[in-house]
A and B are shown apart, each in its own frame.
Chain A
Amino acid sequence: MNNRNSKNKVFQRIKQTLKMHPVIIVLLALLIIFGSIYPDRFFSPINIKSILRQFVTLMLFALGPTFVVLTGSLDLSYVGVWMLGGVLVWMVKPILGIFAIIMIPVVGVTTGFLVGVIQTKAKIPSFILTLSLLMTYTGLAALLAEGYPRAVEGYEFITAPIIRYVPSTFLWTIPIIAAAIFFMKYTRICVYLNAIGSNEEGARLAGINVDKYKILAFMLSGGFTGVGAIILFQHLGGSAQMELKLNTLVWPLVAIVLGGTPLTGGSGGPQRTLLGAITFTIFYRGLYLSALHPTMVTLLVGVLLIVAIIISARGLKGVTVT
């Protein structure tokens, strides 16, 4: 009797989890499909290593903006933080030595603060604000670096191999993800962020200082992006990049939405982005192994974004979408 009860409970628990995170089903389905199509290649150590490498890139870019998406806004400045930060590291390296890397989080937090203040005080829609800022940063980075990608040496320890077949950057990513999930689960800030996302006017009436917490959300986003970009800086070649690609901008958004954080805000968080990033990476790598033309893969990613948003926008009644 007791045994059956507890069995039932486990079953209920699994059912509940699947209902909360339908993306797990997609993930398992993708694993089974790709695993059966290419049984040798898909689970080979090299492919798993590639999956982990790509997961790191995607996750570190997607982690910060998740906090902003919780409040219903959007933060697209992450690529800009990475680029401008990288150039600044190159510039101050002769002065600060190894500590020059601190410039990236500094740029991140400053950007977050700036965006938050402008967004809450001047009331500009956040996506257009951060997009314009991203463009400014790209231009600024190109201007400061005089148009060339600038390689910076001295941070090779970040990518130095520790365990075979596991990229070290993946190991460095784990504490960052853990910190983000800790923030989400055990602090009051994220309760407030969720409240703002689900009903901003209500949150204001309940006595939450909405502006303050929105600025804080943007700063959290900038901070996590900044810390992540330290790892990404070495992970993506140890130099500051100059060119802005639409793909770099959109993939993290796909990961966030796919994970189940709706763009209208109010629910979700880093733990869902984690699932979304894994699913997206496996989807992408699976397609990459196939005979499809790379342009078709790009096309399918766009379709995936739209479908994921449509599914996550299900059941939104009375919400004005512009």
Chain B
Amino acid sequence: MIQEKSMTRPKLSPEWLRRNMATIGPITFVIAVVAVFQIINPFFLSYQGFITLVYAMSYFLIASCGLTFVILTGSFDFSVPSVLRLSALISVMYIEKIGFLVIPLALVVCLVIGFINGILLAKFKVPSFLATLGISIVLEGIAWYLSKGHLQLMHNETFRSLATSFLLGLPAIFYWGMGVWIICTFLALATAFGRRTYAVGGNLQGAGLSDINVARQRIYVFMLSGFLSGLAGILYMSQMGGGSVRIGADMAIPLFASVVAGGTALTGGVGGPHRTILGVIIITWIQAGMAMLAIGQDIQMITFGLIAIGMSIATMDRKRIKIVK
């Protein structure tokens, strides 16, 4: 991050490599993933294969952009999959009754959930991991209550075309994902909001002393995460055309792994949404590639668990932190 702009061209020295490891590492990883799957399965990068990859990564990218902001402040949001599920279920359950008002309804509900998460952390001093875990349980109850455990199918074709209509050979959800990613990158790197987020994550006390309203910033970040998870849920429903309370199950660790695999450290203050896209490509393409090769859920789970541990070890800046709980 703190890299001086020198006029000379960078030389390929070990020093330069080490300094830019956070960028080079994920890119190499992406190339390796693509190469391995392409060699095993020649259809991986064919047009049809690529559409599958795009479908797999787009909603995931939106959700993990939100999570990136939370991890940037040094907190954690476990409730992303549950919020995603709730917003998907709201949009499928009420589309018949209130039409396209479900989209603002779902987004407002998700914003409120994010707000509650933020309040619990910032005002009530509940560690974010447990606050969001508790909220997840509550949301799971609500999701069961709403759907009664049945599979819900989306019959509204206009709603489905939000994600599945093709533009220039690519599905619309790809442009949604890219649009959100660009906005998030802009928000993180070029606005005061982004700067405050980095400050809170980098040094909480310092941020408080330099007149940043830390509590408010944390609440905003959780609201952003809730909002983006809600958007991801709506697009998920639009893409998949149906779902039950199983939506988003086992998604927490892959989401987290994609954020850290991109190079955002768990300690906060380092990384950003612009990097998360690399992590998302790594995780979702491994997932989709394994699915194309008919490799089961169990091996995928082992892989993501190990990637999550390995990547958190690799990205953690151990000089800066003294105490870790």
B73, B121, B301, B318: the one within 8 Å of A136 (CB): B301
- B209 in contact (CB, < 8 A): no
**What is the bound-complex CA distance between A309 and B129, given in angstroms?**
12
B13 to chain A, nearest CB (A): 27
Contact B127 A132 (CB under 8 A): no
Number of A-B contacts (CB under 8 A): 170
Contact A302 B134 (CB under 8 A): yes
Across-interface contacts of A295 in B (CB, < 8 A): 141-142, 144-145
Contact B302 A136 (CB under 8 A): yes
**What is the bound-complex CA distance between A140 and B145, given in angstroms?**
32
Chain B residues close to A by CB (< 8 Å): 73-76, 120-121, 124-131, 133-142, 144-145, 204-205, 250, 252-253, 256-257, 266, 268, 296-306, 308-309, 312-313, 316, 318, 321-325
- A125 in contact (CB, < 8 A): yes
**What is the bound-complex CA distance between A301 and B76, given in angstroms?**
21
Q: What string of 1s and 0s marks CB contacts (under 8 Å) between A100-126 and chain B?
A: 000000000000000000110011111
User: What residue in chain B is nearest A135 (Cβ atoms)?
Assistant: B305
B75, B130, B204, B318: the one within 8 Å of A305 (CB): B130
Q: List 24 A-B contacts (CB under 8 A).
A: A72-B325, A118-B309, A122-B316, A124-B309, A124-B312, A124-B316, A125-B76, A128-B312, A129-B309, A133-B305, A139-B300, A140-B302, A142-B296, A143-B302, A257-B130, A295-B144, A296-B141, A298-B137, A301-B137, A302-B134, A302-B137, A306-B138, A309-B130, A322-B127
Check A132/B309 contact, CB under 8 A, given A125-B325, A303-B138, A322-B74. Answer: yes
Across-interface contacts of B74 in A (CB, < 8 A): 322
- A151 in contact (CB, < 8 A): no
**What is the bound-complex CA distance between A122 and B324, given in angstroms?**
10
B126, B144, B268: the one within 8 Å of A298 (CB): B144
**What is the bound-complex CA distance between A306 and B134, given in angstroms?**
6
- A32 in contact (CB, < 8 A): no
User: What residue in chain B is nearest A197 (Cβ atoms)?
Assistant: B325
Contact B125 A316 (CB under 8 A): yes
Check A305/B127 contact, CB under 8 A, given A118-B313, A125-B325, A322-B74. Answer: no
B307 to chain A, nearest CB (A): 9
Across-interface contacts of A253 in B (CB, < 8 A): 130, 133
A216 to chain B, nearest CB (A): 16
User: What residue in chain B is nearest A244 (Cβ atoms)?
Assistant: B250
B75, B121, B131, B133: the one within 8 Å of A250 (CB): B133
- A153 in contact (CB, < 8 A): no
**What is the bound-complex CA distance between A135 and B125, given in angstroms?**
28
B207 to chain A, nearest CB (A): 12
A-B CB proximity, top 8 nearest: A139-B301, A136-B305, A299-B141, A302-B137, A302-B138, A142-B298, A298-B141, A139-B302
A139, A250, A294, A316: the one within 8 Å of B299 (CB): A139
Check A123/B298 contact, CB under 8 A, given A128-B266, A135-B250. Answer: no
Check A313/B302 contact, CB under 8 A, given A124-B312, A125-B266. Answer: no
User: What residue in chain A is nearest B253 (Cβ atoms)?
Assistant: A135
A104 to chain B, nearest CB (A): 20
**What is the bound-complex CA distance between A296 and B266, given in angstroms?**
34
A128, A132, A140, A310: the one within 8 Å of B124 (CB): A310
Check A135/B304 contact, CB under 8 A, given A302-B137, A321-B121. Answer: yes
B73, B299, B300, B324: the one within 8 Å of A123 (CB): B324
**What is the bound-complex CA distance between A294 and B245, given in angstroms?**
15
Q: Chain A interface residue count: which class?
A: 35 or more
Across-interface contacts of A301 in B (CB, < 8 A): 137
- A163 in contact (CB, < 8 A): no
Contact B76 A319 (CB under 8 A): no
- A263 in contact (CB, < 8 A): yes
Contact A320 B140 (CB under 8 A): no
- A166 in contact (CB, < 8 A): no
- A147 in contact (CB, < 8 A): yes
**What is the bound-complex CA distance between A147 and B297, given in angstroms?**
10
Contact A147 B137 (CB under 8 A): no
- A95 in contact (CB, < 8 A): no
Contact B301 A138 (CB under 8 A): yes
**What is the bound-complex CA distance between A250 and B125, given in angstroms?**
19
A72, A135, A305, A322: the one within 8 Å of B137 (CB): A305
**What is the bound-complex CA distance between A316 and B127, given in angstroms?**
12
Contacts A147-B296, A299-B142 supplied; 8 other A-B pairs, CB < 8 Å: A126-B325, A128-B266, A132-B304, A135-B253, A143-B296, A246-B136, A253-B133, A313-B125
Check A132/B253 contact, CB under 8 A, given A122-B316, A123-B324. Answer: yes
Across-interface contacts of B134 in A (CB, < 8 A): 250, 302-303, 305-306, 309
Q: What string of 1s and 0s marks CB contacts (under 8 Å) between A54-80 and chain B?
A: 000000000000000000111000000
User: What residue in chain A is nearest B142 (Cβ atoms)?
Assistant: A299
**What is the bound-complex CA distance between A127 and B313, given in angstroms?**
14
Across-interface contacts of A200 in B (CB, < 8 A): 323
A322 to chain B, nearest CB (A): 5
Contact B129 A127 (CB under 8 A): yes
Contact B324 A306 (CB under 8 A): no
Contact A143 B135 (CB under 8 A): no
Contact B75 A299 (CB under 8 A): no
Most buried by A among B73, B134, B322, B323: B134
**What is the bound-complex CA distance between A303 and B131, given in angstroms?**
10
**What is the bound-complex CA distance between A132 and B129, given in angstroms?**
14
**What is the bound-complex CA distance between A77 and B2, given in angstroms?**
37
